[in-house]
């Protein structure tokens, strides 16, 4: 097994383990790739393996999501749930299309920024976990439209690598009075159109530089992201119900601080 394949496997595992927890999978992938000297054309590898994590989420929630689609024609509640996810997705869609080139070619290529955002996001997560207002929404499938829209606006902060898509949406949800378990679950649901849209658009934009010769490594990363993603999705809701989000905040602060120290010393 080549060194590149081992790195691809490691990155796929990291993607699945970090995509749905508020620690920034993109930040972890970019920093790991930087320190290991891994760089794919147009960041196609890092983008495609995210589909493995999306597939993991669809696998875990297949029955529930299928039932929502079946019920939608005759259930106001099902239609309302679908509307909240779509409304929350729209701000990221709009900003992502407008700022795509700047995000990919400037922000993604600035490891120091990633490390700093990991630290700052960790501080915010620890603070909000402790001082968020009392929750009054405990069902991720029954949020008011205005709450979903505000969560979607928070998600746009994740355009800055190292911020964390799940972290931004969870912080937004907690500040909107959503309880910790429901905040994580709505973040799951919102990730489906967000990540699928981002991957599709990114692959289209980078179609000229896609490295098809690396399909074997991509397949390994994809598979490991899928398997590890299933484990995390099944584990996370119970963990945050018992322990909250502060442990993830401290993890971000530690990893970001170590990475920043290495970067500033020229590593």
d(CA 251, CA 239): 15
Give pLDDT tens digits along the chain (267 positions). Answer: 567 788 889 999 999 999 999 999 988 988 988 888 877 655 667 778 888 999 999 999 999 999 999 999 999 999 999 999 999 999 999 998 887 777 776 677 788 999 999 999 999 999 999 999 999 999 999 999 999 999 999 999 988 888 999 999 999 999 999 999 999 999 999 999 998 988 887 777 766 666 655 678 888 999 999 999 999 999 999 999 999 999 999 999 999 999 999 999 987
Q: What is the pLDDT of residues 179-213, one digit of tens each?
A: 999 999 999 999 999 989 888 877 777 666 666 55
The whole-number pLDDT of residue 254 equals: 97
pLDDT of residue 134: 94
Contact 170, 245 (CB under 8 A): yes
- Residue 24, CA atoms < 13 Å, CB-side half-sphere: 35
Coil vs helix vs strand at 137: strand
Q: Which two tokens stand for residue 58?
A: 């669809």
Residue closest to 43 by CA, chosen among 178, 250, 201, 169 = 201
Separation between Cα atoms, residue 193 and residue 58, nearest integer Å = 11
- In this structure, how many other beta carbons lie within 10 angstroms of the beta carbon of residue 258? 13
C-beta separation of 218 from 8 below 8 A: yes
Cα gap 175→246, rounded to integer Å:
15
Rounded Cα–Cα distance for residues 44 and 231 (Å): 25
Contact 114, 259 (CB under 8 A): yes
pLDDT digits (tens, 9 = 90+) for 60-101: 999 999 999 999 999 999 999 999 999 999 999 999 888 777
* Token couple for 83: 């509307």
Distances, alpha carbon 41 to alpha carbons 4, 46, 106, 147, in Å? 14, 10, 15, 38
Q: Which pLDDT belongs to residue 215?
A: 76
Residue 137 has phi, psi (to 5 degrees) of: -125, 120
Closest CA to 185 of 141, 251, 228: 141
Helix, strand, coil share of the chain (percent; to 5): 80, 0, 20
């Amino acid at each position: 097994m080549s060194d590149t394949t081992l790195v691809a496997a490691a990155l796929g595992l990291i993607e699945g383990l970090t995509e749905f927890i508020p620690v920034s999978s993109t930040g972890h992938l970019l920093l790991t790739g930087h320190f290991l000297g891994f760089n794919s054309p147009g960041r196609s590898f890092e983008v495609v393996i995210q589909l493995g994590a999306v597939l993991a989420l669809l696998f875990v929630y297949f029955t529930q999501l299928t039932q929502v689609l079946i019920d939608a024609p005759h259930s106001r509640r099902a239609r309302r749930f679908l509307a909240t996810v779509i409304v929350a997705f729209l701000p990221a869609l709009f900003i992502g299309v407008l700022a795509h080139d700047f995000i990919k070619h400037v922000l993604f290529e600035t490891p120091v920024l990633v490390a700093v955002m990991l630290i700052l996001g960790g501080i915010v997560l620890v603070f909000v976990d402790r001082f968020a207002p009392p929750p009054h929404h405990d069902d991720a499938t029954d949020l008011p439209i205005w709450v979903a829209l505000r969560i979607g606006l928070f998600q746009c902060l994740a355009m800055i690598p190292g911020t964390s898509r799940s972290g931004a949406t969870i912080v937004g949800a907690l500040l909107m009075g959503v309880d910790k378990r429901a905040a994580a679950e709505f973040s799951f649901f919102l990730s489906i159109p967000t990540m699928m849209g981002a991957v599709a658009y990114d692959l289209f934009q980078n179609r000229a530089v896609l490295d098809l010769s690396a399909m074997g490594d991509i397949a390994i990363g994809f598979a490991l992201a899928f398997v590890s993603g299933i484990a995390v999705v099944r584990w996370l809701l119970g963990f945050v119900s018992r322990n909250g989000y502060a442990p993830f905040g401290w993890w971000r602060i530690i990893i970001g601080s170590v990475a920043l120290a290495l970067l500033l010393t020229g590593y």
